[in-house]
Every structure is written in structure tokens, then in C-alpha cells.
Structure 1
Amino acid sequence: MPYDKPLYSMEREEKREHTLTLTDRKQLQLTGVLDVDSFDTEEFLLKTTLGYLMVRGHNLHMKNLNVDDGSLTIQGKIHAFDYIDESKQSPGKGFFGKLLK
């Protein structure tokens, strides 16, 4: 049975504001999170309304995740965060190439 509307709407991505609030490098609060692709105690890979975001640190853990409003809190020692921009990479190096280097 075909659906009239897609289950995943691009409209949802455009309407959410994306913010980051880092407090004392111990807590990172985010809004505009669409999906948590992967995570462990050293690294989080998040899909946000502005693209993929990689958060790196030590002893990281997810404190709060609300998928309805797209908010997430990560606690631990935050070392870095970086947006992965496909358009600025050299030819032949894709998203997974950057992750696996």
C-alpha cells in the first residue's frame, strides 16, 4: 500500500534550528539533531540539520536524547567537534574515507 507522504520528510530538517552550547568542556548541549549514527566513549557521529557532526573526547556518554525535538546532551571531556562537509573534500575521498583515515 503506497503512502501519500514520505515517512521521512526533508521539511523536518529545514524547520529545526541547530545550536551547540559547550560548558567547561564537560557538557555539550545540541539542538537540531536528526539522528545519532554511531557513538562510543571516544566519538559521536551525529546527523544534524546542518550536516554531519563528529564529536570527539574522552569518557563521553549520552545524558539526554529527545528525538521529538532533536535535542541531545553529551557529557564527558570534549576534545573537539567538527562538521563533515562533503563538498570541500578532494575527489575520491568521500564521507567514509574521512572517517576511516
Structure 2
Amino acid sequence: MVKDLDDGKKIIRGRSHSVSIENREKVTITGVIDVDSFDEASVIMVTDLGFITLHGADLHISKLNLEEGQLVVEGEIIALEYSEQNAMGGKGSGLFGRIFR
């Protein structure tokens, strides 16, 4: 979030972050900056606090709004794992980031 001050300066704040899982079938995550990769078995997303990897089966993204930082994934949820940005190579470590090094 960016907040403009009266003197023209801007304050950049991290987005709030929450995870809500409903019946192991639907997960809503806020504070998402980007989705690094996804398929039917996993979704890897970037937040201000690092990466989140969602493991499951028949996963599909039903809503993605990066302006609001919201991601909704439906399917069979097996696990949700946090990791630091450096542990996965940092932002841009997706397929294209690995190809164009």
C-alpha cells in the first residue's frame, strides 16, 4: 500500500496477510504480490513476507486480483508451506527467471 503525504512524499507499507481455508476445498489468501507458478498439484505465490506454496490435487485459481492482493484457489488442499524469498531463489525465480540467467 502506498500512502501520499501532504508534502508529496510517499510511504510504502506492506499488505496485510491472511489465510482462510474452508473444508480443505477452498483457500483464500490476501497479501499476494504475484503468482510465481501454478499447476494442478501446486501454486507458488509471492507475498511481502516470502513465498507460500500450496500443495493439493485438482487445484485451480478461481480468483486472482493482484491490485487487492487476493488469491482464491479451489481443489483438494493438502498442505500450505511458507518459505523465505532466498530459499527459492528470490523473486523472478520462475521458469523464465531460470531460463534467462
TM-score scaled by length of structure 1 = 0.72
- Distance of 2:88 and 2:26 partners within structure 1: 27
Aligned residue pairs: how many?
Answer: 79
The unaligned stretches of length 5 or more in structure 1 are 1-10, 88-93, 97-101
The answer to whether the 8 Å contact 2:33/2:45 transfers is yes
Match of 1:71 in 2: 70
- Distance of 2:85 and 2:23 partners within structure 1: 30
Return the offset for 1:22: 0.3
Q: In the alignment, residue 66 of structure 1 is paired with which amino acid?
A: N
Q: In the alignment, residue 22 of structure 1 is paired with which amino acid?
A: I
User: Runs of 4+ in structure 1 displaced over 4 angstroms?
Assistant: none
Identity among equivalent pairs (%):
33
- Distance of 1:84 and 1:58 partners within structure 2: 21
The unaligned stretches of length 5 or more in structure 2 are 1-11, 90-101
- CA-based RMSD of the aligned residues comes to 1.8
TM-score scaled by length of structure 2 = 0.72
Match of 1:24 in 2: 23
The answer to whether the 8 Å contact 2:49/2:84 transfers is no
Q: In the alignment, residue 52 of structure 1 is paired with which amino acid?
A: F
